[in-house]
Amino acid sequence: MSALLPMRASGVCVHRRGKRLIGPVDLVLDGQGITALIGPNGAGKSTLLKALHGLERLSAGRIDWACPQHEAQQMQAFVFQTPVMLRRSVLDNLMYPLRLARTPRAAARAAAAQWCARIGLEGMEGRLATVLSGGERQKLALARALITSPKLLFLDEPSASLDGSATREIEAILTLATGAGTRIVMATHDMGQARRLAREVVFLRRGEVHEAAPAATFFDAPATRAAAAFLAGDIVD
Ligand SMILES: Nc1ncnc2c1ncn2[C@@H]1O[C@H](COP(=O)(O)OP(=O)(O)OP(=O)(O)O)[C@@H](O)[C@H]1O
Ligand SMILES: [Mg+2]
């Protein structure tokens, strides 16, 4: 398989009804581990994630991958903040992406059962996915995204409104995934989570990258006043 990264976003803008949602954004994505995308509500985190994944029409700029666009698309997965589940069993939800990728049924079923155990849902294989709790649903969505071993995974607030133990489980899955070679870009409001997981931080403000730095640098000595204020818990718009 060809390489996906580096990805280069140059002058990326997304407008909707004459309003600028993000841009211009210049961003390079390379290396391994997790990039935390942080910033105030409405800063454009979700829009940028979707734009990078090809789910938003760009009004300006371009996104270049190390391989052709259609190949790049196949190596990525995206987990929405409120994931949509198929009205089918937990196991069927996990098998679905593999079946789409033409994995034989028996192999897909075995992998799905394995992931079920890994996310602590063993015994729930036959349960309707739509009746799972919020935390169980997030874990299932994550497993469904990771089951095809994507090279790159976009996550929008993977543990918003989850309690401590569900968050810890999600974070353990993410750490496993990066260990297995999946690059992750994740929007989060949880600064503790960003500190625990991220190798680099992109701080978005008013639709633009206000600061991007290695996580240690960003958290210890943010270069901009807005980032420092944001980290201090001040209201930043
Ligand atoms: N479908 C839409 N139509 C019009 N404006 C939109 C749409 N979706 C988002 N926006 C606007 O785009 C801007 C960026 O929104 P976005 O959801 O990307 O921010 P965010 O950083 O993810 O915020 P949050 O922290 O609340 O999740 C906001 O001003 C928002 O109101
Ligand atoms: Mg958002």
Cα dihedral 60, 61, 65, 67 sign: positive
In tens, the pLDDT along 94-113 reads 999 999 999 999 999 999 99
User: What are residue 156's DSSP bridge partners?
Assistant: 187
Whether the predicted pLDDT of 1 surpasses 70: no
Q: pLDDT value at position 161?
A: 83
- State in Å: Cα 224 to ligand 2 middle: 22
Buried b (16+ CB within 10 A) or exposed e, 219-234: beebeeebbeebbeee
Which residues place a Cβ less than 5 A from the ion ligand 2? 45-46
Answer whether 119's CB lies under 8 Å from 130's CB: no
Q: What is the mean pLDDT of residues 148-157?
A: 97
Q: pLDDT value at position 2?
A: 79
In tens, the pLDDT along 17-27 reads 999 999 999 99
In tens, the pLDDT along 115-149 reads 999 999 999 999 999 999 999 999 999 999 999 99
Q: pLDDT value at position 40?
A: 97
- State in Å: Cα 207 to ligand 1 middle: 9
Q: pLDDT value at position 188?
A: 97
Cβ of residue 188 lying under 6 Å from some atom of ligand 1: no
What is the strand order of the sheet 19-29 is part of?
Answer: 19-29, 7-16, 60-64
In tens, the pLDDT along 187-218 reads 999 999 999 999 999 999 999 999 999 999 99
Q: Is 43 exposed, middle or buried (0-12, 13-18, 19+ CB in 10 A)?
A: buried
Question: What single-letter amino acid sits at 123?
Answer: G
- State in Å: Cα 189 to ligand 2 middle: 9
Rounded Cα gap, residues 38 and 198, in angstroms: 11
Answer whether 222's CB lies under 8 Å from 234's CB: no
Rounded Cα gap, residues 92 and 126, in angstroms: 8
Residue bearing the CA closest to ligand 1, atom 17: 46
Nearest Cα residue to 166 out of 235, 120, 98, 103: 120
